[in-house]
Amino acid sequence: MHISSPLESTTVEAPLTRRELRRRRRGARLRAVAAPIAGVAAAGLLVTVAGFAHPTLANAATPAGVNLSATTPVSSNAAAADDGDTLFARTAERADERAATALASANVVLGSAKGKVDDSTLVSSIAALANYAYLDTTTVQSLTNTAVAATAVVQAGVAAVDKAAADAAAAEAAAAAAAAQAIADRIALAATPDGARTVAAELAAENYGWGDDQFQCLDSLWTKESGWNYQAENASSGAFGIPQSLPGSKMSSIADDWATNAVTQITWGLDYIARGYGTPCSAWSHSQSVNWY
């Protein structure tokens, strides 16, 4: 007598896929259909042999009462079973193909959704469909439909987020372009004395809150100093530009283009007046007293 040892291992078979299960079921059905046919064929062989021994037995029924001419219904049943199995197999294969396609698309969309939209439903759908090869066809079809719907929702959400980001970037770029154009226009305007006056009045109001009364003093001061000419230079002192900075390089604290950009000069001059005198009228008063500011 053999006694099993506790150390003997037990073999655990891996779960079968639906294709393997279909193959085994088909084999069982074919064997079930083939068994009656084999019985009938055997009975026919016995009758044929007996016919040679005694001619009167040639037309007799088989011992089981089965007429040898009745084999056609068995063949028809076998063909019907085979057709049904083929249709079932095709349906299952199509379900598998659709599931594989749905999973591939879902994973691509999932990769693009990170940090943009809620993808929890899609993650669950992918997990549920991942083992489609081991599920019945109806379940696979249902889970595939759910995954396709979840993918469409997330994809639409990602598209909306991406569009909003693109629109925001475009708006930001347009605003930056508009600002750059405004700066360029202001520089071009300030290149003439009248244009420089306009720009100075705007900057004085925007940055310091100085109105028309203060601008009148500023106009008088810089008309005396340079005539609002951004290229004006005092030959004896070296003072330069609209505000007559001494030396002109002081204006580089605003920008390196101080020698050619009237807006840079005006910006520096207004800051100089605000820090040194408080207002243009105070600076103009000082200039009238001592002939410089």
Cα distances (angstroms) measured from residue 202 to each of 196, 199, 240, 266, 270: 10, 5, 22, 11, 11
Tens digit of pLDDT for each residue in 255-285? 999 999 999 999 999 999 999 999 999 999 9
What is the rounded distance in angstroms from the CA atom of residue 236 to the CA atom of residue 239? 8
Tens digit of pLDDT for each residue in 176-232? 999 999 999 999 999 999 999 999 999 999 999 999 999 999 999 999 999 999 999
Tokens of 277: 């005198």
Tens digit of pLDDT for each residue in 6-64? 444 445 455 667 666 666 665 655 555 445 544 544 444 333 433 444 444 344 444 44
pLDDT at 141: 97
What is the rounded distance in angstroms from the CA atom of residue 267 to the CA atom of residue 241? 12
pLDDT at 17: 73
Tens digit of pLDDT for each residue in 116-137? 999 999 999 999 999 999 999 9
- DSSP reduced 3-state for 21: helix
The H-or-E segment that residue 289 falls in is helix 280-290
Beta-carbon neighbour count of residue 36 at 10 Å? 15
Beta-carbon neighbour count of residue 98 at 10 Å? 17
End-to-end CA distance of the chain: 123
Handedness of CA 20, 25, 27, 30 (dihedral sign): negative
pLDDT at 71: 44
pTM of the model: 0.61
Residue 172 pLDDT > 70, yes or no? yes
Q: Who wins on pLDDT, 85 or 176?
A: 176
In percent, how much of the chain has pLDDT > 90? 70
Rounded-to-10 torsion of CA 256, 261, 267, 268: 50
